[in-house]
Amino acid sequence: MRKEDLADADCGIAQSLGVVGDWQSLLIVREAAAGVSRFEAFTHELGLSRRALTERLGRLVEDGVLERLQYSEHPPRFDYRLTRRGEGLLPVLVALQEWGTRFVMGDGAVSGAVSDAESGRVHGLLDTRVPDVALTAHDGSTVTLADADRWTVLFFFPGAYAPETNGYPDGWGDIPGTRGCTLECRTYARHSAALADAGARVLGVSTQRPDQLAAFAAHAQLPYLLASDQDGLAASALRLPVFRAGGADRLKRTTLLIAPDGTVRDVQAPVTDPAGSVEEMLAAVRSHEPGRSGRSTRAGRRTRAAPAPSPGR
């Protein structure tokens, strides 16, 4: 059913479903958020028939969710990338991720602890390259998940607030997995010089607003950047474990070690010892040879070279 066939013309839910109301379209958006852009790559990841994929890509382009960019004239070939309108769907994907984990795969309880299934999904990022996601840091600058000049210790955490902001929602400390964010951030601060000497930067990410992160960074005197994923860009691109508390989606505690070429070389999930995990990550950084590019010898899920698309795709 297309949106023009819907009787509820004034209902945003009905109109949204007219654009992405089938599971195949939403999974195409999911893959696009993860960096998939070529026709054959979508086919491989989703297992859709060429006819079904062609139809759905065409509709998503028509509805402004994807844009089609030509990268070859002979034969004509195209990339499919999320538009600003398409990126507006990413919080929907994060919400579906949280709902499915909590109510379909779980018992409905709220938990900030990484489950076995979530751990397996995060560990599946090993030897893949992180997508080109840009976030706003607490100082107003724009940061990416990878840094071409050095390694990146990228840790995701539920939330940490300066005392004067009183930002923690009611019952926060009773949710499993939420305790330890301040300890983790401060432990990274204590080890930031050693990590820098080993050739790595530290980047912390939560779904808090940049101003909330700025207040906490000043309070904790952090020597590294915190970045806001309030729009779900990183959570969607990496399919990170999330939970919902205080009316907002929160990232569960996980850590990635990213090489200068953007390859994920180490994963910590679950992180049950926030302070100890920092020392483990420092050891992981030091285990790599100085100046090593970090290029993986295995092709990653989101970065392998896709077969050449058929003409017109």
| CATH number assigned to the domain comprising residue 230 | 3.40.30.10
Residues 278 and 175 in one domain: yes
Residues 50 and 83 in one domain: yes
User: 32 lies in which domain range?
Assistant: 3-87
pLDDT of residue 294: 39
pLDDT of residue 304: 35
Residue type at 228 in one-letter notation:
S
Q: Is residue 303 part of a domain?
A: no
Residues 210 and 94 in one domain: yes
pLDDT of residue 5: 60
SS3 for 106?
A: coil
Q: Is residue 83 part of a domain?
A: yes
Q: Is residue 293 part of a domain?
A: no
Q: Is residue 313 part of a domain?
A: no
Residues 135 and 273 in one domain: yes
- CA 237/CA 30 separation, integer angstroms: 7
Determine phi and psi for 260, rounding to 5 degrees.
-60, -25
Nearby residues of 308 by Cβ (< 8 Å), 6 or more positions away: 40, 77
Residues 206 and 217 in one domain: yes
Q: Assign residue 71 the CATH number of its domain.
A: 1.10.10.10
Residues 136 and 72 in one domain: no
* Successive 10-residue mean pLDDT values, the chain, 313 residues: 61 90 95 96 96 96 97 92 96 95 94 96 96 96 98 98 90 95 98 97 98 97 98 96 95 98 97 96 86 37 37 42
Determine phi and psi for 301, rounding to 5 degrees.
-60, -40
Residues 8 and 58 in one domain: yes
Task: Record the pTM.
Answer: 0.87
Nearby residues of 262 by Cβ (< 8 Å), 6 or more positions away: 129, 130, 145, 146, 303
Q: Is residue 33 part of a domain?
A: yes
Q: How many CB atoms lie within 10 A of CB 50?
A: 13
Residues 166 and 185 in one domain: yes
Number of domains in the chain: 2
Residue type at 100 in one-letter notation:
G
Residues 35 and 156 in one domain: no
DSSP classification of residue 103: I
